[in-house]
């Protein structure tokens, strides 16, 4: 008997039971999980048409990972059929728009009686995991049907590294079932190897998010003289803090883009109580009548960044999140503001600081920093130019990762 797997399954069941009240509350209150819960139980998992080509199962946990891996999936589609899974509803919606796959699905929960029968029926030739979403039963089931399991755009946060270091048996069992790892940089290579992985199968390929193509869609309209600030991927309490800061800086137009759709309603309540003139994207609000537009729709954030004079990337003024991709506005030459809590995105922070493409703000410096940058076009231009240099000097991850995936999988 595999005692380790038994312990893992028991812990997973206990965690699932503990999460049920939260899932029920979020589904009732915000509509979250309504689409994904039954699918993640394995219900309605689609059949995949069989032909002579190999099946490549690509899994990206959420929105950012889905966007990052989409160009790689497009290249791999030349070599087989693509089954693309995500774990969140935002990731799933993004996949439907940007990922060219034969099937889009939610990844079933990693309970053995749910995931193993599905993997045995689908029989992938290759399983590709994105960044840091590991599932023991999924990975073991893939090996049982002869699939290679590859990590791309791999990373491991400092917090996760410390946890794995405390439980080396877990690290060896979970990470040891990866056949090959394509990681973002030297820091992550060192961390994986320190957890017992052979350096022979941990290769640095770069960050796919830095190879993402610029948005080619029609940019939003911008009136001459408007100064536009986009508050992207925000969490609680970031909206409240920024709404207070906005009041101190006149002649400012703001796109406010919460990270999670289920929070649109609560952010609207904050705006209603703020005293600011505001409107909703879904109701076609424009800056001729309002100062703040709540972007209550998915897939709009990049278009907002395109025409911004300044951007803030959320998840960084709250300790709970640890930051998001603060380089997203930089590809358009937009200077970036971010908070002090970037522990989950150390690599992006290092690049941002090295190229001086933005600056850190805190709760107490939001207003002063915003007003100073509004008045200092030279500083904004320097930051924007630094952001563009990041992407000019960091390309190549897509091609390198693609070649490595092909090289480790002879079936492709």
pLDDT band at residue 189 using 50, 70 and 90 as cut-offs: very high
pLDDT in the model for residue 4: 74
Coil/strand/helix, residue 125: coil
Residues whose CB is less than 8 angstroms from the CB of residue 71 and which lie 6 or more positions away in sequence, other chains included: 208, 211, 212, 213, 398
pLDDT in the model for residue 411: 75
Residue 30 in this model has a pLDDT that exceeds 60: no
| 360-385 average pLDDT score | 96
Highest mean predicted confidence (pLDDT) among 17-31, 225-239, 397-411: 225-239
pLDDT in the model for residue 31: 59
| Annotated catalytic residue 65 | yes
Q: Which two tokens stand for residue 168?
A: 């080396």
pLDDT band at residue 254 using 50, 70 and 90 as cut-offs: very high
pLDDT per residue as tens digits for the range 306-355 = 999 999 999 999 999 999 999 999 999 999 999 999 998 888 999 999 99
pLDDT band at residue 52 using 50, 70 and 90 as cut-offs: confident
d(CA 283, CA 298): 14
DSSP state letters, 185-238: SHHHHHHHHHTT--GGGEEE---GGGSPPPP-SPPPP--TT--EEEEEEE-TTH
Residue 191 in this model has a pLDDT that exceeds 70: yes
pLDDT in the model for residue 10: 85
| 376-383 average pLDDT score | 97
- Residue 131's region, left for phi above 0, alpha for psi from -120 to 50, else beta, is left
Coil/strand/helix, residue 154: strand
Going from the N-terminus, what domains does the chain have, and what CATH number goes with each? 33-211+396-408 (3.40.50.11720), 228-393 (3.40.50.2000)
SS3 for 375-402 is: HCHHHHHHHHHHHHHHHHHCCCHHHHHH
d(CA 352, CA 357): 5
DSSP state letters, 102-113: SEEEEPPPS-HH
Cα separation values, 132 from 66, 91, 335, 356, 408, Å: 13, 15, 28, 28, 19
Q: pLDDT averaged over the chain? A: 90
User: Any bridge partners for residue 311, and if so which?
Assistant: 230, 336
Residue 374 in this model has a pLDDT that exceeds 70: yes
pLDDT in the model for residue 43: 85
| 279-305 average pLDDT score | 94
Q: Which of 65-79, 214-228, 255-269 has the lowest mean pLDDT?
A: 214-228
Whether the Cβ atoms of residue 287 and residue 223 lie closer than 8 Å to each other = yes
Of residues 223 and 59, which shows the higher confidence score? 59
Whether the Cβ atoms of residue 305 and residue 230 lie closer than 8 Å to each other = yes
The angle that helices 397-408 and 63-76 make with each other, rounded to 10 degrees, is 60
Of residues 119 and 39, which shows the higher confidence score? 119
pLDDT in the model for residue 34: 66
Q: Rounded to the nearest 5°, which phi and psi values hold at 43?
A: -75, 130
Total residues found in the chain within this entry: 412
| 180-194 average pLDDT score | 94
Handedness of CA 27, 31, 33, 35 (dihedral sign): positive
Catalytic residue among 26, 52, 65, 272: 65
Burial class (CB in 10 A: 0-12, 13-18, 19+), 247: middle
pTM of the model: 0.81
pLDDT per residue as tens digits for the range 149-184 = 999 999 998 889 999 999 888 898 999 999 999 999
Residue 271 in this model has a pLDDT that exceeds 90: yes
pLDDT band at residue 299 using 50, 70 and 90 as cut-offs: confident
pLDDT band at residue 53 using 50, 70 and 90 as cut-offs: confident
pLDDT in the model for residue 22: 67
Q: Which of 408, 300, 407, 405 is nearest to 82 (CA)?
A: 405
d(CA 312, CA 340): 12
Residue 215 in this model has a pLDDT that exceeds 80: no
| 140-149 average pLDDT score | 95
Q: Rounded to the nearest 5°, which phi and psi values hold at 303?
A: -65, -35
pLDDT band at residue 19 using 50, 70 and 90 as cut-offs: low
Residues 168-202, buried b or exposed e (16+ Cβ, 10 A)? eebbebbbebbbbbbbbbebbbebbbebebeeebb
pLDDT in the model for residue 16: 72
pLDDT band at residue 303 using 50, 70 and 90 as cut-offs: very high
d(CA 343, CA 26): 27
d(CA 176, CA 143): 12
Count the neighbouring beta carbons within 10 Å of the beta carbon of residue 371.
15
């Amino acid at each position: 008997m595999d005692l380790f797997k038994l312990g893992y399954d028991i812990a997973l069941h206990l965690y699932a039971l503990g999460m049920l009240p939260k899932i029920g509350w979020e589904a009732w209150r915000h509509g979250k999980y309504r689409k994904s819960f039954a699918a993640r139980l394995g219900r309605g998992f689609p059949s995949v048409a069989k032909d002579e080509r190999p099946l490549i199962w690509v899994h990206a946990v959420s929105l950012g990972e889905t966007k990052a891996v989409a160009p790689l999936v497009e290249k791999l589609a030349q070599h087989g059929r693509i089954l693309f899974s995500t774990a969140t509803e935002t990731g799933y919606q993004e996949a439907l728009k940007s990922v060219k796959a034969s099937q889009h699905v939610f990844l079933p929960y990693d309970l053995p009686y749910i995931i193993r029968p599905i993997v045995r029926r689908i029989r992938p030739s290759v399983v590709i995991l994105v960044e840091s979403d590991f599932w023991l039963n999924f990975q073991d089931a893939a090996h049982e049907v002869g699939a290679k399991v590859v990590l791309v755009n791999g990373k491991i946060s400092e917090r996760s590294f410390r946890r794995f270091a405390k439980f080396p048996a877990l690290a060896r069992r979970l990470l040891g079932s990866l056949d090959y790892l394509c990681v973002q940089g030297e820091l992550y290579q060192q961390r994986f190897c320190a957890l017992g992985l052979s350096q022979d199968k941990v290769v640095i390929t770069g960050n796919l998010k830095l190879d993402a193509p610029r948005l080619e869609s029609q940019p939003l309209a911008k009136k001459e003289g408007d100064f536009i600030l986009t508050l992207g991927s925000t969490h609680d309490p970031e909206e409240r803090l920024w709404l207070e800061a906005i009041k101190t800086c006149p002649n400012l137009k703001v796109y406010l883009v919460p990270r999670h759709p289920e929070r649109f309603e609560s952010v609207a309540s904050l705006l209603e109580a703020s005293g600011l003139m505001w409107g909703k994207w879904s109701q076609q609000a424009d800056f001729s009548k309002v100062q703040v537009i709540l972007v209550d729709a998915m897939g709009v954030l990049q278009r907002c960044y395109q025409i911004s004079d300044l951007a803030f990337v959320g998840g960084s003024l709250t300790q709970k999140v640890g930051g998001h991709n603060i380089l997203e506005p930089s590809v358009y030459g937009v200077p970036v503001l971010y908070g002090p809590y970037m522990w989950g995105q150390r690599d992006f922070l290092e690049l941002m600081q090295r190229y001086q493409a933005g600056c850190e703000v805190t709760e107490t410096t939001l207003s002063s920093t915003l007003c100073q940058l509004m008045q200092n076009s030279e500083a904004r231009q320097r930051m924007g130019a630094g952001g563009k240099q990041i992407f000019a000097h960091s390309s190549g991850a897509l091609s390198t990762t693609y070649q490595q995936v092909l090289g480790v999988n002879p079936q492709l």
